[in-house]
């Protein structure tokens, strides 16, 4: 029969085994790492929330100034009549007459513009807006109605007009100058440039109920805002395809163009050092300095997915836009999110380093001390995010890293005792954060550098753990 003293000895031995067992210590550390995944995910959610907040504020600022601008045109529109004979049998023959429209794009389209950016502020957030002065010159060839089987006497020259599409009419800061054949033409703004398409579709469907209906999305290219200029031609003899448009246009972030010319050339310049050339076509030449940029595009009609002339109502002019985006670098959020993804790795490596110190130097570190160190490693990311919004990612990374390493260094004196061990532990943390900083900045080589770095870290851990007797005591 076991005595009370024997039971006490068993309890003491079990308690000592729990305190000194390497296996139990590893399980405890693994459990702590799993628990710390929860606040780490909260940190990433916070970063994504702040990123979304920044984007929404920038969109709000841009919307009050004027939105992104995409210009299409000019497009020459010439109505013509169609007569249709309908045989009603004994009731006779009915002749129905309705109007269609002939659309013609310019042979050459030359756009020259100066973009003057401005940065608007709201709190800690910025948005890039611009004011531009654009000179647009287009030259139209004479319409070839015969190719579309349109009789000359059916053409309504007196109703001819031009349309020029602008995404946001609020961006027009001065009255546009619309000149055709060296004669100034009066122009009017319109928010329904595609109304003639819808009207034509209704006329067709009422005259021929069996004809296919035009899908609503077919209007999207014609229903945008823009300018209509009536030409006032009385006959074919008045035709003159030389057209120029001078317009001062405001917008936000993006200025795009549609290559409506058979040959389209665009020349843009402005005092901005971080432009992003985007869209379906990149510039054939560009120059970017610390104070300004200039770029030139040249697009042929072979490069675009729409015809030079048409009479169909479902012709789409989208899918070939190109231009420039005035980007304010706000990559601190993307970089902070990428950095936070390495948070688990830093915690694991830090815990492993402390664990090796425990078993090789016979220094006991309480689980609560692990938790406090992990808390400092997690709060590091809130420091990084908050400082990066104020001073940028690079400086914020240095501030947050040095503050966190210093805090853990001072706290580690309470259990490491030896200055040599504290210095070694602090050096390891600095190496970890320096390694992650290099990976985040070197996006193209992040996988290569990360793989090499982890390989070296594993090798170092193997070296320092080579003398550990995992089934007993650490050897000297």
**Per-domain residue ranges of the chain:** 16-54+333-464, 68-329
Q: Specify the higher pLDDT residue, 333 or 188.
A: 188
Half-sphere exposure of 110 (CA within 13 A, CB side): 5
Give 304's pLDDT tier (boundaries 50, 70, 90). confident
Q: For residue range 236-262, what is the model confidence (pLDDT) as tens digits?
A: 888 888 999 999 998 888 899 999 899
Give 297's pLDDT tier (boundaries 50, 70, 90). very high
Cβ atoms within 10 Å, residue 2: 8
Closest CA to 355 of 37, 22, 17: 22
Yes or no: say if 347 and 451 are a contact pair by the CB < 8 Å rule: no
Q: Specify the higher pLDDT residue, 173 or 122.
A: 173
**What value, to the nearest 5°, has the Cα angle with vertex 463 and ends 457 and 465?**
100
Yes or no: say if 136 and 166 are a contact pair by the CB < 8 Å rule: no
Name the most confidently modeled range: 63-77, 86-100, 347-361.
63-77
Closest CA to 66 of 112, 9, 127, 16: 127
pLDDT at 264: 93
pLDDT at 381: 81
Mean pLDDT over residues 36-64, rounded?
A: 70
Residue 290, pLDDT above cutoff 80: yes
Total-model pTM: 0.65
Q: Give the whole-number percent of the chain exceeding pLDDT 90.
A: 9
């Amino acid at each position: 029969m076991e005595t009370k003293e024997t039971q006490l000895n068993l309890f003491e031995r079990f308690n000592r085994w729990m305190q000194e067992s390497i296996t139990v210590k590893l399980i405890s550390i693994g459990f702590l790492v799993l628990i710390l995944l929860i606040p780490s995910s909260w940190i990433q959610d916070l970063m994504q929330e702040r990123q979304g907040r920044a984007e929404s504020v920038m969109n709000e600022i841009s919307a009050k100034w004027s939105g992104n601008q995409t210009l299409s045109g000019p497009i020459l529109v010439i109505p013509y009549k169609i007569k249709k004979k309908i045989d009603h049998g004994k009731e006779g023959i009915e002749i129905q007459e309705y109007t269609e429209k002939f659309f013609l794009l310019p042979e050459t389209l030359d756009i020259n513009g100066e973009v003057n950016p401005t940065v608007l502020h709201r709190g800690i957030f910025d948005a890039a807006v611009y004011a531009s002065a654009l000179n647009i010159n287009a030259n139209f060839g004479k319409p070839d109605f015969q190719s579309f089987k349109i009789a000359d006497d059916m053409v309504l020259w007196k109703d001819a007009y031009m349309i020029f599409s602008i995404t946001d009419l609020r961006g027009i800061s001065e009255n546009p100058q619309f000149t055709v054949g060296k004669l100034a033409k009066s122009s009017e703004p319109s928010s329904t440039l595609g109304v003639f398409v819808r009207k034509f579709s209704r006329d067709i469907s009422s005259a021929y109920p069996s004809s296919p209906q035009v899908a609503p999305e077919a209007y999207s290219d014609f229903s945008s805002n823009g300018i209509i200029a009536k030409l006032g031609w009385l006959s074919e003899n008045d035709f003159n395809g030389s057209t120029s448009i001078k317009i001062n246009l405001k917008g936000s972030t993006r200025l795009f163009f549609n290559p409506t010319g058979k040959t389209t050339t665009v020349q843009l310049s402005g005092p901005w050092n971080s432009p992003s050339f985007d869209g379906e076509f990149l510039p054939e030449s560009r120059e970017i300095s610390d104070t300004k940029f200039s770029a030139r595009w040249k697009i042929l009609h072979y490069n675009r997915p729409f015809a030079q002339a048409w009479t169909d109502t479902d012709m789409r002019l989208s899918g070939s836009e190109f231009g420039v985006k005035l980007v304010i670098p706000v990559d601190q959020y993307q970089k902070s999110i990428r950095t936070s993804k390495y948070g688990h790795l830093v915690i694991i490596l830090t815990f492993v380093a402390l664990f090796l110190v425990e078993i090789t130097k016979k220094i006991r570190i309480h689980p609560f001390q692990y938790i406090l160190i992990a808390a400092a490693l997690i709060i590091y990311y809130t420091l990084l995010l908050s400082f990066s919004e104020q001073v940028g990612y690079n400086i914020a990374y240095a501030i947050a890293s040095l503050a966190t390493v210093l805090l853990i260094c001072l706290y580690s004196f309470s259990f490491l005792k030896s200055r040599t061990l504290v210095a070694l532990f602090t050096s390891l943390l600095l190496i970890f954060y320096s390694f992650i900083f290099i990976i985040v900045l070197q996006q193209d080589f992040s996988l290569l550098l990360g793989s090499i770095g982890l390989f070296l870290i594993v090798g170092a851990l193997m070296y320092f753990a080579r003398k550990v007797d995992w089934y007993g005591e650490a050897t000297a």
